[in-house]
A and B are shown apart, each in its own frame.
Chain A
């Protein structure tokens, strides 16, 4: 190496030593060496020899330590305190409800104890995702996809169906959503082929959900993947005609929708079951029972305290009549047991929280950061929306997780991972730079 190169290298080394975020080093070295090179060429043209020209160019750069310190200031990690505080508020509310639940009914006396075990594990998951380099999801997206796909299938062998369904596939579906964002990113610039491949990889997981009879996981996965793909096509990530790209995904979806509607309407019993989902009154003692009970409990809730029920249910506490109240119906339970003011507070907190996380996505400048945090936000939002609507008796009942609040270790841990990803992207927004 020539003496000139050594001088430049030394300068750059001293500069980089001051910059804590190692990820930006390469980019800064490229930009500065480009500058030094051009400046040196200028001095050579002025008649200086190469060594003098290099020295003069470096002198023009300024003191490397000061330059490094100034650049370091521009590339600091950022902390989104409002999201962190809101997340932990929701977790604490969840813990409080689990505590109440375990004291109210001896059947659930283990609930709070279990919460005390899974909550720290969830916290560890959160901190791992938060301080972890989220770009590995981009680099290893296909590997992660295969690993999750295979482990879900292995689960079919070792884990039993409960009431005909593989419940755990719900958590696989949630984890697939950010991985899908990684896949979309890795297939960007691949044109229509990229879009079709994304569709096929989504299809694989969708089939797992359907095979497990986990309809809600299927719904959650489908809406999220569709939103991610639409977003990516609209932003031009695939470098193809946007309209054709969109029609590649929306045409098959449209056809499948028509076919499923035809399938439902073609047989009388399916038609009735479907109608009951929207009109629980059709079958008050069967499929519609739970929805009607929920409407009763929420509809008659008081500002504070117990719901005022009529007839045979009068003066009954929610924990005695509502099944799965600390997992699937915690909001209904809060309305019926503590009053609607508490219920509305939880919902309002959640809405503020969701607004904050989506705002953090909009502030992102790098493509992958946007895509992955958007995917995690979607997964959290859709769970919240489905959970809240079913808990208020607006849509049919099913088994979903209310992120950070409802009982269950796996649900808690996966959602803590998701919010960890969102915050990690925000944290690194001045460090992981890749312009649009």
Chain B
């Protein structure tokens, strides 16, 4: 099923941080991994990803370093910082709160059990 892109925008930062929480990654890898894990629901455009990564780096949520790759140009990796983990927790809590609220409305009368 194709989903409306605006649904993704609000949670991209959270998803990126979640990926980096598990291991250091470079940009392309993040998009690939996101597609794989969401079974192709989240197809993030590279042009959306990099501005977010750069902003998160400015804010000190993530850090970058370059890694030499044989016979290629050095690749830029990102890793999460302590500050970034804190933001991820906040975003997760916010998301859960929101999702519960949406479900309650969608579930309607039957859901709340009246």
Contact = CB atoms under 8 A, between A and B. Distances in A.
A260 B60 CA distance: 46
Interface stretch (B42-50, B89-97, B100-108): B42-50
Interface residues of A, number: 28
Given A435-B64, A435-B65, A32 B28 contact: no
A49 interface: no
Contact of A70 (B51, B64, B73, B76): B51
A70 B65 contact: no
A35 B28 contact: yes
A63 B47 CA distance: 7
B46 A32 contact: yes
B46 A74 contact: no
Contacts of A435: 63-66
A62 B51 contact: no
A433 B45 CA distance: 24
Given A39-B28, A435-B64, A61 B73 contact: no
A60 B46 contact: yes
A73 B28 CA distance: 21
Contacts of B46: 32, 35-36, 39, 60-62
Contacts of A188: none
A429 B60 CA distance: 12
Contacts, number: 64
Given A30-B73, A30-B76, A35-B28, A70 B47 contact: yes
Interface in B20-69: 26-28, 45-48, 50-51, 54-55, 57-58, 60, 63-66
A38 interface: yes
A322 B17 CA distance: 63
Nearest to B54: A74
A60 B55 CA distance: 21
B75 interface: yes
Contacts of A436: 63
A365 B54 CA distance: 13
A31 B75 CA distance: 7
A165 B48 CA distance: 63
A326 interface: no
Interface residues of B, number: 22
A34 B75 CA distance: 7
B27 A35 contact: yes
Interface in A43-72: 60-64, 66-67, 70-71
A61 B47 contact: yes
A70 B45 CA distance: 13
A60 B31 CA distance: 11
A31 B76 contact: yes
A430 interface: yes
Nearest to A59: B45
Q: Which of the listed residues A33, A63, A64, A67 has the most CB atoms from chain B within 10 Å of its own CB? A: A67
A214 interface: no
A30 B28 CA distance: 13
Contacts of B73: 30, 33-34
B58 to A, nearest CB: 5
Nearest to A63: B47
A35 B54 CA distance: 15
A133 B81 CA distance: 29
A73 B55 contact: yes
Nearest to A430: B58
A67 B28 contact: no
B47 A31 contact: no
A62 B27 contact: no
Contacts of A36: 46
A75 B58 CA distance: 8
A74 B45 contact: no
B54 A62 contact: no
Contacts of B66: 435
Closest 8 CB pairs of A and B: A62-B47, A70-B51, A67-B47, A74-B54, A62-B45, A74-B55, A38-B28, A61-B46
22 contacts: A30-B73, A30-B76, A31-B76, A34-B28, A34-B72, A34-B75, A34-B76, A35-B28, A36-B46, A38-B28, A61-B45, A67-B47, A67-B50, A70-B48, A70-B50, A70-B51, A71-B54, A74-B55, A75-B54, A365-B60, A430-B58, A433-B57
Interface of B: 26-28, 45-48, 50-51, 54-55, 57-58, 60, 63-66, 72-73, 75-76
Given A60-B45, A61-B45, A61-B47, 7 more contacts: A34-B76, A35-B28, A39-B28, A39-B46, A67-B51, A365-B63, A435-B65
